[in-house]
Amino acid sequence: MSQTDVSYGHLIPMRTSRKPRLSQGLYTVVGLAGGFILLVLIVFALFPEKIAPFDPSETVARPFLPPSGEHPLGTNDIGQDLFSELIWGARVSLLTGVLVGLVAVTIGSIVGLFAGYYDNIGSTFLMRVVDLTLALPFLPLVILIGAYLGPSFRNIIIILILVSWAAPARLIRSRVLETTSQPYVEAAIATGSSDNRTIVKHIWPAARIIALVQVVMVSAAAILAEASLSFLGLGDPSAKSWGTMLYFAQASGAFLGDAWKWWVVPTGIMISLTVLGLVLVGYALEQYMEPSLRRR
Amino acid sequence: MRSDSRQPGTGLVNRLLAYFVTLFLALTLNFFLPRAMPGDPMALVAGNSVRQMGAEHIAELRESLGLDRPIGEQYIRYLGQLIRGDLGQSYRYSGGLSVVKVLADRFLWTFMLVLVSLTIATIIGTLLGTWAAWRHGTWRDVGLLSGLFALRSIPAFWLAMILIPVFAVQWRLLPVGDSYSFPRPEGFRRVTDVAYHAILPITVLTLAYIPTPFAIMRSSMLGVVGADYIRTARAKGLSERAVLLNHAARNALLPLVTIVALDFGQLLGGVLIIETVFNYRGLGSMMFEAVKSRDYPLLQGGFLLFTFGVLTVNLLVDLLYTRLDPRVRRGNE
């Protein structure tokens, strides 16, 4: 699956003659739905010890128990409570998303602003690096680096940042290029506005909505990628992450019996809901805050 | 907006030049990556077995691998080996099987999976996207769009993990995994056996791929429906169907070719994990096994092959696009 590219830029048409028959309120509904999902997950991530009935790293019962009143989703291969693991998993996922999203888009914004505003050897070089990063196949590269760095949560974050900054950089650069040739920016430069002032006062305000949407979209992609990497065994095996849960489910043959129903299914639903929540919020933000994209 | 610096068809020479430069940079990255990592590059280049060796043996191996040489000399040597098609030896096989041989064994399986699922997904995605755009703004369009948003949020490997217990374990309709049964049947049965084992992986990959062509086709169609020639076609009194198929869809197809190809690198990522879930004998499960056994030459070889494949597909599609669309035949950079 196109795991990295959760940017929905190409969903937005160039122009259309037919007026959408649904009101603009739809985007609000979509955004609120996404926001609600995220809110629940943030509560899980902030206060897992209040919600989860057990410590997920403790063996609290016999292994491979089916769901019961005490263990709503049964237990895993070493007798840990699966429901508690699921709640705690939100923390790793959201933390991955937030860290990778913020850092990668910050790097991408700086590169995009620089490469779009200035036209010199430095900016050409930067765009070559962007092209190279985007041209390399994402997962094989991530697996290669992950294998060298060794399995750990910190390494996954570093790897994901290394491969996630380029797409936002390119998007922001093209917005900067558009903006720089606008009459009001040319006028500002002509009246003696310094480069720094022009960038801060005129260019960045036009580009920051793209950066904001990209933070959300990159986070979504990072969460999917973290799950994939942990599933491949490149994550920290002791971390309570949804990808790691699926890794152990696969490793202990959970789908040969019935255990997949309460082990694999809820875990995947949590990952999908998290990603979906972010994507919905990102999509709504894009439609809502970018006037030029309205009615599309 | 998506591909400003990768504008299709900016002159054959420029495209070829960019292709070779990127390929060369990727080869260089592949060389420096293990050497830039923390720790002894020896352990990375020669595998973890180093830890069990004596100091003397290590020095000997270091010399035979050329790791005691200056980095520039190592680099030249590496490029020379690549030109000769030598990717080193895999550690996993004690006989010292060459990486090239392992890759050749695995390549066709992955190629088949990707080709079949990408073709099916492109056809289905294109049709659905065309239909959704034609019904733009209705509840059907929104329903389809949300369905595909949801599909895109689902990890493909998880889809595989729930289809296997249902179809393979409980209903016993399809095999749990692997590319063929053992012992392999003879003659025509051999072909049906391979097809039978490929059904589930192809289904999962197809589902994973559909959202991309769908999204592109939908937005591309929406860009086309407002165009003057569509209004003209309608004004001529053509049926909606004729307008849709002969005028709108035909013109909306072009961007699809490019973007699917540009996304090819990302699409390949999916197959990597899917193969692992199914124990399918392609490049994906090979990479996974190589990670587990820290078989670095094999990992590097796999990475190079993936990179080479993605870059080459991108180049070919760029060139093809130039032929397809007369407007970009002249360079515009």
pLDDT in tens, B108-117: 999 999 989 9
Report CB contact under 8 Å: A2, B209.
yes
Report CB contact under 8 Å: B226, A17.
yes
Considering the domain architecture, whether residues B77 and B203 belong to the same structural domain is answered as no
Check: CATH 1.10.3720.10 for A38-60+86-291?
yes
What does the pLDDT average to over A31-53?
Answer: 91
Tokens of A14: 């160039």
Considering the domain architecture, whether residues B184 and B77 belong to the same structural domain is answered as no
Considering the domain architecture, whether residues B262 and B169 belong to the same structural domain is answered as yes
Considering the domain architecture, whether residues B210 and B272 belong to the same structural domain is answered as yes
Other C-beta atoms within 10 Å of A24: how many? 11
Are the C-beta atoms of residues A116 and A172 closer than 8 Å to each other?
yes
Considering the domain architecture, whether residues B155 and B52 belong to the same structural domain is answered as no
Other C-beta atoms within 10 Å of A22: how many? 15
Give the pLDDT of residue B78.
Answer: 84
Helix axis angle for B99-134 and B283-292, nearest 10°, is 120
pLDDT tens for each residue of A87-108: 999 999 999 999 999 999 999 9
Q: How far apart are CA B288 and CA B279, in angstroms?
A: 10
Report CB contact under 8 Å: B150, A173.
no
- CB within 8 A of B279, min separation 6: which ones? B177, B178, B285
Report CB contact under 8 Å: A138, B265.
yes
- Mapping DSSP onto H, E and C, the string for chain A reads CCCCCCCCHHHCCCCCCCCCCCCCHHHHHHHHHHHHHHHHHHHHHHCHHHHCCCCCCCCCCCCCCCCCCCCCCCECCCCCEHHHHHHHHHHHHHHHHHHHHHHHHHHHHHHHHHHHHCCCHHHHHHHHHHHHHHHCCHHHHHHHHHHHHCCCHHHHHHHHHHHHCHHHHHHHHHHHHHHHCCHHHHHHHHCCCCHHHHHHHHHHHHHHHHHHHHHHHHHHHHHHHHHHHHHCCCCCCCCCCHHHHHHHHHHCCHHHCCCHHHHHHHHHHHHHHHHHHHHHHHHHHHHHHCHHHCCC
Nearest to B265 among A135, A272, A280 (CB): A135
Higher pLDDT, residue B187 or B332:
B187
Other C-beta atoms within 10 Å of B20: how many? 12
Nearest to B158 among A14, A170, A268 (CB): A268
- CB within 8 A of B30, min separation 6: which ones? B300, B303, B304, B307
Are the C-beta atoms of residues B156 and B211 closer than 8 Å to each other?
no
This complex has an ipTM of 0.82
Give the pLDDT of residue B95.
Answer: 58
Nearest to A169 by CA among A115, A230, A220: A115
A220 phi and psi angles, rounded to 5 deg: -60, -45
Give the pLDDT of residue B15.
Answer: 79
**How many helices, marked H, and strands, marked E, lie in chain B?**
15, 0
Q: For chain A, what is the mean pLDDT?
A: 83
Indicate if the pLDDT at residue A9 is higher than 70: no
Report CB contact under 8 Å: B138, A21.
yes
Nearest to A145 among B25, B33, B268 (CB): B33
* Span between the terminal Cα atoms of chain B, in Å: 16
Q: For chain B, what is the mean pLDDT?
A: 80
Query: Which of B158, B206, B257, B271 is the best substitution to test chain A (most A C-beta atoms within 10 A)?
Result: B158
Considering the domain architecture, whether residues B71 and B174 belong to the same structural domain is answered as no
Per the structure, the complete domain to which residue B188 belongs is given by: 109-296
Domain count of chain B?
A: 2
What does the pLDDT average to over A52-58?
Answer: 83
Report CB contact under 8 Å: B290, A147.
yes
Give the pLDDT of residue B125.
Answer: 93
Indicate if the pLDDT at residue A294 is higher than 70: no
Indicate if the pLDDT at residue A165 is higher than 90: yes
Among residues of chain A, what percentage have pLDDT more than 70? 89
SS3 B89: strand
Are the C-beta atoms of residues A138 and B269 closer than 8 Å to each other?
yes
Are the C-beta atoms of residues B264 and A136 closer than 8 Å to each other?
no
Nearest to A241 by CA among A89, A49, A57, A52: A89
What does the pLDDT average to over A47-63?
Answer: 84
Helix axis angle for B296-324 and B250-262, nearest 10°, is 160
Among residues of chain A, what percentage have pLDDT more than 90? 31
Considering the domain architecture, whether residues B258 and B213 belong to the same structural domain is answered as yes
- Among B20-29, B190-199, B207-216, B225-234, the range scoring the smallest mean pLDDT is B225-234
Give the pLDDT of residue B41.
Answer: 62
SS3 B239: coil
HSE toward the beta carbon, residue A263, CA cutoff 13 A: 31
Q: Tell me the shortest Cα–Cα distance from A59 to chain B, in angstroms.
A: 25
CB pairs under 8 A between A and B: 222
Higher pLDDT, residue A104 or B23:
A104
Q: How far apart are CA A142 and CA A156, in angstroms?
A: 9
Dihedral (C-alpha) A148, A149, A151, A154: value to the nearest 10 degrees? Answer: -160
Report CB contact under 8 Å: A234, B4.
no
Nearest to A148 among B33, B157, B306 (CB): B33
Determine the Cα angle at B139 with ends B137 and B142, to 5°.
70
Indicate if the pLDDT at residue A168 is higher than 70: yes
Give the pLDDT of residue A173.
Answer: 92
Give the pLDDT of residue B39.
Answer: 63
Considering the domain architecture, whether residues B127 and B232 belong to the same structural domain is answered as yes
Residue B60 one-letter amino acid: E
Give the pLDDT of residue A82.
Answer: 87
Indicate if the pLDDT at residue B168 is higher than 80: yes
Q: Is the peptide bond before B183 cis (omega within 30 degrees of 0)?
A: yes
- Among A11-25, B19-33, B185-199, B304-318, the range scoring the smallest mean pLDDT is A11-25
Nearest chain A residue to B291, by CA: A147
Give the pLDDT of residue B124.
Answer: 94
Give the pLDDT of residue A17.
Answer: 42
Give the pLDDT of residue B332.
Answer: 42
Considering the domain architecture, whether residues B278 and B238 belong to the same structural domain is answered as yes
Other C-beta atoms within 10 Å of B183: how many? 6
Are the C-beta atoms of residues A179 and A120 closer than 8 Å to each other?
no
Give the pLDDT of residue A21.
Answer: 44
Query: Which of B27, B151, B171, B222 is the best substitution to test chain A (most A C-beta atoms within 10 A)?
Result: B222
What does the pLDDT average to over A229-236?
Answer: 85
> Highest mean pLDDT range out of A23-27, A44-48, A63-67, A272-276?
A272-276
Considering the domain architecture, whether residues B54 and B175 belong to the same structural domain is answered as no
With tokens 């809820």, the residue in question is: A266
Q: Give the residues across from A81 on adjacent strands.
A: A75
CA torsion sign for B316, B319, B325, B327 is: positive
Considering the domain architecture, whether residues B79 and B114 belong to the same structural domain is answered as no
pLDDT band with cut points at 50, 70 and 90 for residue A124: confident
| DSSP structure class, residue B185 | P
pLDDT band with cut points at 50, 70 and 90 for residue A291: low
Indicate if the pLDDT at residue A35 is higher than 70: yes
- pTM of this prediction? 0.84
Give the pLDDT of residue B233.
Answer: 84
SS3 B314: helix
pLDDT tens for each residue of A176-231: 988 888 888 888 888 888 888 888 888 898 888 889 999 999 999 999 999 988 88
Q: How far apart are CA B224 and CA A295, in angstroms?
A: 16
What does the pLDDT average to over A46-75?
Answer: 84
Indicate if the pLDDT at residue A236 is higher than 70: yes
pLDDT tens for each residue of B51-104: 566 677 777 777 776 777 788 888 888 888 888 888 877 766 555 678 888 888
- CB within 8 A of B191, min separation 6: which ones? none
Domain residue spans of chain A = 38-60+86-291
Q: How far apart are CA B168 and CA B160, in angstroms?
A: 11
Considering the domain architecture, whether residues B242 and B200 belong to the same structural domain is answered as yes
Among residues of chain B, what percentage have pLDDT more than 70? 85
Are the C-beta atoms of residues B45 and B296 closer than 8 Å to each other?
yes
Report CB contact under 8 Å: A140, B306.
yes
Nearest chain A residue to B298, by CA: A144
Give the pLDDT of residue B6.
Answer: 44
Give the pLDDT of residue A292.
Answer: 52
pLDDT tens for each residue of B284-321: 888 888 887 777 788 888 888 988 888 888 888 877 77
Give the pLDDT of residue B203.
Answer: 94
SS3 B21: helix
